[in-house]
A = this chain, B = another copy of it.
Amino acid sequence: VLAAAMKVADAEGIKAVTMRRLAADLGVEPMSLYYHLPGKDALLDGVVDSIVAEIGLAIGRGDDEAREGWQPALRRRCLSARDVMERHPWAPGLIGSRTTIPVSLFAYYEAILATLVGGGFSYHLAHRSLHALGSMPLGFAQELFSPAAAGGSVEADAAEADLAELAETMPHLTAMVAAELHDNAEDPLGWCDSRAEFEFTLDLLLDGLARAGV
């Protein structure tokens, strides 16, 4: 049913997921879908549910969570989630643009909360921690600008061509790019969102939270 939606999204981006397109793939008339689903929003909610479920599978048992402590446990979870997002580059954009919160997400965050509380967090600090971590438990971070996560195709930005002329007006930016010039420019989750950046930010937050009062 919505496995077809995932397949289309993986193959051609989330923008190609349309009622009519989906019906055609399923060899059925477009309007038949409305018997099974209330509408497109329900479809997308279902896709998000599938993603969350996939994250749950990717994490594994975690029976040794009590042994390793909250910080490595959360770290493992976020990095596992990131693997899932790497398989579905359109997912961050979809999740970020949803206007309703699927129920499956509540269960997911309940598990994270259990980890935090089990690690000695007060509910107050746990709440702030969830805000601070943002979408990292879902495997992605808010990028400065993340074309891949947002739309679908990563087209060369128009400004790239003019970057040469703008060089002298923006000395620091050009210097930084020159100094950094990533070897992983084709990262699927957006500009520079390499695993290294993700881990740096994640550890920055986790260490900060550890210092904040546990």
Contact = CB atoms under 8 A, between A and B. Distances in A.
Contact of A103 (B100, B151, B162, B212): B162
Number of copies: 2
Given A127-B180, A142-B134, A159-B106, A99 B175 contact: no
Given A128-B197, A128-B200, 13 more contacts: A93-B97, A96-B142, A100-B159, A105-B144, A106-B166, A106-B173, A127-B180, A127-B192, A130-B144, A131-B192, A132-B200, A132-B201, A134-B141
Contacts of A207: 208
A98 interface: yes
Contact of A158 (B100, B179, B200): B100
A117 B176 CA distance: 10
Contact of A132 (B93, B152, B204): B204
A147 B101 contact: yes
B99 A172 contact: no
Interface in A133-166: 134-135, 141-147, 150-153, 155, 157-159, 162, 166
Interface residues of A, number: 65
Contacts of A128: 197, 200-201
